[in-house]
């Protein structure tokens, strides 16, 4: 635990700077605004979904419990006819950004803490500043970008959107690595 205590400054600085960078990406540059498309019949789809009154959670259309069910002619027809969709339903009401931003900041802290701890255990403190920064940067890249790649592979997230997420991850990784190089504790 002393490694984490020694790294409190780069962990906190990294989390703050990644948080600021993500805020700029989403609120100033807005390069993710084109990632989401509007259905031509959005109101009709909303009415049908609302009529089913789904609880908050993840849903898939068509729903298939297991591969055995996938072999049935009715299920095959549903997949061929489409649409195939993955949907997340959240609770009703206006979006509250405060809790999401708080969770995002704590996630940034967690990534910085884990990456810093791994670097401290791997290269130690002192003269290995570049190695530590590179290791923190690579771990951060995997942590911030890995989930989007999985979404592209398994859930059909458009690869253009995945590429933008990876660009975000590269920016966050560079920030993380550079901050840790700058503030890496002496031996």
Number of domains comprising the chain: 2
Vertex 139, ends 116 and 170: CA angle to 5°? 115
Q: Where in the sequence is the domain holding 75, given as residue range(s)?
A: 57-90
| pLDDT score of 39 | 95
Same domain, 45 and 63: no
Same domain, 83 and 138: no
Kindly state the average pLDDT of the residues 133-162. Answer: 97
Confidence of residue 127 (pLDDT cuts 50, 70, 90): confident
- Rg of the chain, C-alpha, whole Å: 21
| pLDDT score of 187 | 75
Same domain, 105 and 72: no
Give the closest residue to 161 by CA, choosing from 32, 19, 64, 2.
32
Per-residue pLDDT tens digits for 23-35 = 999 999 999 999 9
Q: Is the pLDDT of residue 94 over 70?
A: yes
Per-residue pLDDT tens digits for 171-185 = 999 999 999 999 999
Same domain, 25 and 102: yes
DSSP 186: P
Tokens of 97: 């950004």
Same domain, 106 and 156: yes
Same domain, 117 and 65: no
């Amino acid at each position: 635990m002393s490694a984490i205590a020694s790294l409190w400054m780069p962990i906190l600085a990294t989390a703050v700077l990644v948080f600021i960078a993500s805020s700029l990406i989403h609120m100033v540059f807005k390069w993710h605004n084109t990632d989401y498309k509007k259905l031509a019949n959005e109101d009709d789809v909303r009415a049908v979904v609302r009529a089913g009154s789904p609880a908050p959670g993840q849903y898939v259309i068509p729903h298939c419990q297991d591969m055995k069910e996938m072999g049935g002619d009715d299920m095959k027809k549903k997949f061929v006819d489409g649409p195939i969709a993955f949907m997340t339903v959240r609770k009703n009401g206006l979006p509250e950004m405060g809790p999401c931003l708080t969770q995002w900041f704590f996630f940034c802290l967690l990534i910085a803490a884990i990456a810093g701890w791994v670097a401290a255990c791997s290269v130690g403190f002192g003269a290995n500043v570049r190695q530590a920064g590179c290791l923190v940067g690579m771990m951060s890249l995997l942590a911030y970008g890995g989930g989007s790649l999985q979404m592209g592979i398994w859930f059909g997230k458009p690869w253009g959107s995945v590429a933008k997420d990876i660009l975000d991850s590269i920016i966050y990784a560079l920030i993380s690595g550079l901050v840790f190089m700058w503030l890496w504790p002496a031996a």
